[in-house]
Amino acid sequence: MNLYHCSIDLRDDSKALAFAAAVEVWMDHLKSGGVILSWRLCRRKLGFGAPRARDFLLEVEVENLTQLDQAFRFTANGGEQVERLHTTVHQMVGEVDVALYRPFPDAERAERMALV
C-alpha cells in the first residue's frame, strides 16, 4: 500500500464545500474505475498547524506504484467525463504540495532486517 498525499490551499474565490463535493465525485470515479483503493479529505482544524501547513489534506491510497501510474494514465487519457471531473477539482486548487508515503517498516524492509 502507498499513500499519495496532496496538501492543498484553495484559490481565494473557491468555496470549501464545493471543493469537497467535487473531490468526492472525482475520487469516487477513480475508485469505481479501479485505479485507487480509497481516499479521504481532511481539513485543518481551527487553523492549527505549522506555518507552511496547507488547509486541506487529500490522502489517496493505492496498492502499489503500478496502480498509482494507472491512476495518472486514467486521468490523462480518460476522455471527456474524466477531464470534466478532474478540471472541476483542479480549477479550485491554488497551491498544492504532494508526497508519497508507505507504511513503515514495510514487509520488504522487515524481511531484510530479519536476515541481518
Enumerate the domain spans of the chain: 2-115
- Residue 114 CA to residue 90 CA, distance in Å, equals 44
Tell me which residue has cell 463535493.
21
What pTM was computed for the model? 0.86
2-115 domain in CATH 3.30.70.100?
yes
What is the share, in percent, of the chain residues with pLDDT greater than 90?
Answer: 77
Identify whether 105 is preceded by a cis peptide bond (ω within 30 of 0). yes
Look at residue 34 and tell me whether its pLDDT is greater than 80.
Answer: yes
Q: Which residues contact 30 (CB under 8 A, 6 or more apart)?
A: 36, 39, 60, 71, 74, 75
pLDDT band of 111, cuts 50, 70, 90? low
Report the pLDDT value the prediction gives residue 115, as an integer from 0 to 100: 52
